[in-house]
């Protein structure tokens, strides 16, 4: 299974670190279950990931030590921000094969210095396509493979399912993978569609995630104003 996300494949990427598990509350007996909690841990995880892909779009927030992102995603669109600690942040828009990025001053300075040219500006968007290695790296934070090839738990995984609880106001069943004093917990909704809604981790190679806004259009549009052409990295 895929145990890392939002690595961006860039020198600007910070290393992952632990996180704080969400607080669980008593589940409401009035809500009607979709039955997902009756399945095995693997089936719960796999079903949740497929449900997210089938939704067509969602809003994802990710956070780990020194890195966070806030993105609206679909198979063909992406829009939001990525913040990489001391290396700065950038806005990203993807619509089909078009990718635009606009950095803050810290990120622009770092990228321009590494490239030896002014390719990024804080007041202009830089445009490229997936054929451009640099823009493809920035757009990889969008992880659009979540829609085209949703993740599945390894058949040999020792993940276990817990009791239905409440996470951020949503009834969900946890799937826990632990070892050596560390753990990652995935939560899948037990009412309505069985969406994967949250990931909490204490592992150094994992991040915290929350997914919401399933099926809401991303609405990505080409930015207005002067646009710079992305250089070859």
Question: Using CA atoms in the order 15, 16, 18, 22, what is the torsion angle rounded to 10 degrees?
Answer: 140
**pLDDT, position 182:** 87
pLDDT per residue as tens digits for the range 2-48: 333 333 333 332 222 233 334 444 444 557 899 999 999 999 999 99
Residue 195 has pLDDT above 90, yes or no: yes
Number of Cβ within a 10 Å radius of residue 20: 10
Q: Going by DSSP bridges, is the β-strand pair 125-128/227-229 parallel, antiparallel, or unpaired?
A: parallel
Query: Please, which pLDDT band fits residue 152 given cuts at 50, 70 and 90?
Result: very high
Domains and CATH numbers, the chain: 36-223 (2.50.20.20)
The answer to whether residue 102 scores a pLDDT higher than 60 is yes
The whole-chain average pLDDT of the chain stands at 86
Q: Is the pLDDT of residue 203 over 90?
A: no
């Amino acid at each position: 299974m895929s145990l890392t996300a939002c690595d961006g494949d860039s020198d600007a990427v910070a290393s992952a670190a632990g996180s704080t598990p969400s607080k669980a509350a008593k589940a409401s007996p009035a809500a009607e279950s979709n039955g997902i909690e009756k399945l095995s841990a693997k089936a719960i995880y796999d079903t949740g990931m497929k449900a997210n892909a089938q939704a067509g779009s969602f809003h994802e927030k990710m956070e780990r030590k020194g890195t966070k992102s806030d993105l609206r995603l679909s198979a063909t669109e992406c829009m939001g921000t990525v913040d990489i600690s001391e290396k700065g942040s950038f806005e990203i828009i993807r619509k089909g094969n078009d990718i635009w990025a606009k950095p803050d001053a810290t990120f622009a300075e770092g990228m321009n210095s590494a490239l030896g040219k002014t390719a990024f500006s804080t007041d202009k968007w830089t445009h490229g396509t997936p054929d451009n290695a640099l823009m493809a790296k920035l757009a990889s934070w969008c992880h659009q493979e979540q829609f085209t090839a949703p993740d599945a738990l390894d058949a040999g995984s020792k993940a276990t399912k817990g009791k239905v609880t409440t996470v951020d106001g949503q009834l969900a069943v946890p799937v826990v993978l632990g070892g050596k004093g560390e753990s990652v917990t995935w939560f899948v909704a037990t009412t309505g569609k069985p969406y994967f809604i949250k990931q909490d981790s204490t592992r150094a190679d994992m991040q915290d995630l929350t997914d919401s806004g399933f099926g809401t259009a991303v609405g990505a549009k080409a930015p207005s104003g002067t646009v710079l052409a992305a250089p070859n990295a």
